[in-house]
DNA sequence: AATGTCCAAATGGGATATCATGGGGCACTA
DNA sequence: TAGTGCCCCATGATATCCCATTTGGACATT
């Protein structure tokens, strides 16, 4: 399987390292990612993590905009300024920098969530909160609340 | 990787020096920049820093303007006159001149922000304010695409 | 079903390399 | 002579390498 699926929670050690789930590492290798690109999610306390193709997609999108308009600048600000590279060490671990901790609230444990072509990193507590909200929204949709309306 | 990515804040020492993040220095070297050029951003308290090709970008912009209008002249004045060269010392540091401090409000710490082909220098507080605004604009964009659609 | 064995993955930690930062000293110059 | 820029080195913090130990699940055996 070459997609990031399922989820797992791993502990951060005293040096700030955390193991990427073996299954994810296998996908990373199968896809030939030599480096991982991590991006602060726009509206959630999570990081999207994937290969450079993730970044390429953003850059291609930006290229379509007028480079001198603010939108293009905002987009670049986001995908370059709010992104970072992650290095897998030889034991398959990554280090949780302050850059990541600030945005996610991660401190002692990390939740890894597969998302197909990429995966996400969450603080476990916030993930379950968010998951509950997402389910509630879907439920409301089914029960006939106006689509697009944000519950709460 | 040969792009300026991610952000970091470093402290200015008693002599007015600040370390350019190692990753940025690596990119500078990989791109073969022998000198760094810093330009005052037009509409923000930040500096754009990059190789001389940074000027290409602005000159391209100027070329779009009607050469008979004052705008073109202003722009040229701006990009050719309102910039300065930055020298990396042997330890990979640059000196924060008054020219930079005045425009950015930098005093004790410097935030470096990768922007792909160049990077920016900010006063950390102002950066976070501006970043929040930029993200808000992007969110707006996304929500304009299709109401109720699951953002991705 | 309970227990034991094995293996892969996760975790811990010492040693080392890299980086940010502070500071001394020298040359040039205003 | 004070100020500035530049060179060099010291130090502490962090990141990385490498190896040891623990954990947990799959499988086999009884």
pLDDT score of B152:
47
pLDDT score of B55:
82
Nearest residue: Cα versus C1' of C8: A22
Stretch 5-34 of chain B: residues touching chain A, C-beta under 8 Å: 5-8, 23
| Segment B113-143, tens digit of pLDDT | 999 999 999 999 999 999 999 999 999 988 7
| The residue count for chain B | 152
The residue in chain A having the minimum alpha-carbon distance to the alpha carbon of residue B112 is: A81
Asked if residue A62 has pLDDT above 90, the reply is: yes
> What ipTM was predicted for this assembly?
0.87
Mean pLDDT of chain B: 87
Is the CB of B3 inside 8 Å of chain A's CB atoms?
Answer: yes
pLDDT score of A26:
95
pLDDT score of B69:
74
Across the range B88-101, mean pLDDT stands at: 93
| Segment B10-32, tens digit of pLDDT | 999 999 999 999 999 999 999 99
| Segment B32-47, tens digit of pLDDT | 988 899 988 888 999 9
Model confidence band, residue B148 (pLDDT cutoffs 50, 70, 90): very low
Asked if residue A53 has pLDDT above 90, the reply is: yes
Indicate which of B49, B62, B65, B134 best probes the interface with A, i.e. most A CBs within 10 Å of its own CB. Answer: B134
Distance to chain A for B92, nearest Cα, Å: 21
Give the number of other Cβ atoms within 10 Å of residue B42's Cβ.
13
Closest by CA position to A28, among listed A5, A4, A61, A12: A4
Spell out the residues 6+ positions from residue A12 whose beta carbon is closer than 8 angstroms to its own. A18, A96, A106, A107, A108, A109, A110
| Segment A113-146, tens digit of pLDDT | 999 999 999 999 999 999 888 889 888 887 765 5
pLDDT score of B145:
57
Is the CB of A52 inside 8 Å of chain B's CB atoms?
Answer: yes
B5 close to A78: Cβ distance less than 8 angstroms: no
pLDDT score of A144:
65
Model confidence band, residue B147 (pLDDT cutoffs 50, 70, 90): very low
pLDDT score of B74:
73
Domains and CATH numbers, chain A: 7-123 (3.40.1550.20)
Strand C bases, protein C-beta under 7 A: 8-14, 18-24
Cross-chain Cβ contact B8/A82 below 8 Å: no
pLDDT score of A150:
57
Strand partners, B94: B18
A24 close to A4: Cβ distance less than 8 angstroms: yes
pLDDT score of A23:
94
Lowest mean pLDDT among A8-17, A29-38, B63-72: B63-72
User: Strand C and chain A: which residues 85-104 have CB closer than 7 Å?
Assistant: 91-93
Selecting from B61, B113, B148 the residue whose C-beta is nearest the C-beta of A81 gives: B113
pLDDT score of B42:
81
Tell me the H-state helices in B12-147. Answer: 22-30, 53-64, 70-81, 98-104, 124-145
Distance to chain A for B18, nearest Cα, Å: 19
Model confidence band, residue B72 (pLDDT cutoffs 50, 70, 90): confident
Length B132 CA → D9 C1' (Å): 41
């Amino acid at each position: 399987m070459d997609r990031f699926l399922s989820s797992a929670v791993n502990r951060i050690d005293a040096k700030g390292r955390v193991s990427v789930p073996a299954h994810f590492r296998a996908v990373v290798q199968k896809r030939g990612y030599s480096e991982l690109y991590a991006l602060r999610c726009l509206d959630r306390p999570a990081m999207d993590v994937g290969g450079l193709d993730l970044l390429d997609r953003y850059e291609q999108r930006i290229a379509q905009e007028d480079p001198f308009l603010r939108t293009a600048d905002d987009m670049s600000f986001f995908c370059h300024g709010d992104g970072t590279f992650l290095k897998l060490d030889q034991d398959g671990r990554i280090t949780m920098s302050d850059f990541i901790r600030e945005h996610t609230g991660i401190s002692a444990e990390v939740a890894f969530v597969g998302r197909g072509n990429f995966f996400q990193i969450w603080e476990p507590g916030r993930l379950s909160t968010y998951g509950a909200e997402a389910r509630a929204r879907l439920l409301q949709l089914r029960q006939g609340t106006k689509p697009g309306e944000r519950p709460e």
